């Protein structure tokens, strides 16, 4: 039955497009696991910052790569808030990894080949049973190139900037609008131009520009694609029997 067929949903796109908001809503609706891969890159960045491996924006990649085997990242579901939280070496870092100083350093850390290799392997393990929604930059191209549904999200940069600014202010972070805009543009540039696993649209991804649509509309659109992909997977499995 299509309803029981589990698929993999990969969501990629530019910074602050609302990928995690959409991914969480889909996961909740389908009772799927949700993995925020950006949080994993942020956690490694926080580790590097705490250990003094980042100075004036430059990462000492040799020291960070040496430590990769002992960086332990996991997600734990918080029943009270109804959200999944990020833990770094046993410590809840969910708030800390969202701060602007981590955002300003994360692009450099996510360019490091060995960092990506470690995190991609972990992500593939997390999704091996399917029934997962994962968001990031390389999910449909590198982590799960065979995902049944791939979404590539985009939105107008000013809309993204406003959303990100509102989100940071609501959490009590001190930041200016100009700082948010500069950070967004910089991260998009590094993400799309880096050598290792750059952000590109997978050939078979569906583009979703959510500049002018509501969260409900985008969720409805993606859920209709989920039904279509589940039916397709179900019928191809049946014809193989």
Q: How far is CA 139 from CA 13, 47, 163, 203, in A?
A: 10, 23, 23, 13
CB of 110 to ligand DC, least distance (A): 3
CB of 115 to ligand DC, least distance (A): 9
CB of 44 to ligand DC, least distance (A): 9
Q: In three state form, how does the secondary structure of 8-71 look?
A: EEEEEECCCCCHHHHHHHHHHHHCCEEEEHHHHHHHHHHHHHHCCCEECCEECHHHHHHHHHHC
Helix (H, G, I), strand (E, B) or coil at 85: strand
Which residue's entry shows tokens 């956690």? 43
Q: Please provide the size of the chain in residues.
A: 241
CB of 232 to ligand DC, least distance (A): 26
Q: Which is nearer to ligand DC, 97 or 222 (CB)?
A: 97
- Which residues are CB-neighbours of 128 under 8 A, at least 6 positions away? none
Q: Which is nearer to ligand DC, 121 or 224 (CB)?
A: 121
CB of 155 to ligand DC, least distance (A): 13
CB of 38 to ligand DC, least distance (A): 2
Q: Return the C-alpha torsion angle 155, 160, 161, 166, nearest 10.
A: 160
Which tokens sit at 149? Answer: 């549904």
The answer to whether residues 100 and 183 touch, using CB atoms and an 8 Å cutoff, is yes
Q: Which is nearer to ligand DC, 107 or 210 (CB)?
A: 107
Q: Which is nearer to ligand DC, 148 or 191 (CB)?
A: 191
Q: Which is nearer to ligand DC, 7 or 109 (CB)?
A: 109
Q: Which is nearer to ligand DC, 110 or 218 (CB)?
A: 110
CB of 41 to ligand DC, least distance (A): 4
Sequence-separated contacts (24+) of 141-145 with Cβ below 8 Å: 141/12, 141/197, 141/200, 141/202, 142/197, 143/10, 143/37, 144/8, 144/10, 145/202
> What does the binding site for ligand DC look like in residue numbers (CB under 6 A)?
15, 37-38, 41-42, 106-107, 110, 136-138, 187, 191
Q: Which is nearer to ligand DC, 12 or 148 (CB)?
A: 12
């Amino acid at each position: 039955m299509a309803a029981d067929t589990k698929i993999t949903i990969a969501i990629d796109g530019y910074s602050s497009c609302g990928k995690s908001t959409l991914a969480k809503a889909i996961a909740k609706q389908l009772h799927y696991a949700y993995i925020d891969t950006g949080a994993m890159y942020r956690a490694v960045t926080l580790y590097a910052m705490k250990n003094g491996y980042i100075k004036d924006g430059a990462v000492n990649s040799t020291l960070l790569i040496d430590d990769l085997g002992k960086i332990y990242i996991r997600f734990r579901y918080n029943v009270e808030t109804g959200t999944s939280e990020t833990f770094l070496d046993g410590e809840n870092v969910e708030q800390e990894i969202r701060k602007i100083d981590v955002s300003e350093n994360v692009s450099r850390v996510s360019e490091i080949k060995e960092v990506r290799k470690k995190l991609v392997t972990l992500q593939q393990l997390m999704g091996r049973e399917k029934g997962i929604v994962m968001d990031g930059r390389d999910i449909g191209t590198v982590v799960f190139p065979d995902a049944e549904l791939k979404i590539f999200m985009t939105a107008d940069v000013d809309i993204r900037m406003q959303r990100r600014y509102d989100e940071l202010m609501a959490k009590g972070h001190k930041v200016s609008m100009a700082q948010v805009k500069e950070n967004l543009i910089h991260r998009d540039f590094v993400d799309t131009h880096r050598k290792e696993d750059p952000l590109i649209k997978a050939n078979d991804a569906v583009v979703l520009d959510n500049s002018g649509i509501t969260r409900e509309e985008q969720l409805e659109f993606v859920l209709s694609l989920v039904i279509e992909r589940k039916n397709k997977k179900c019928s191809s499995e049946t014809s193989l029997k």
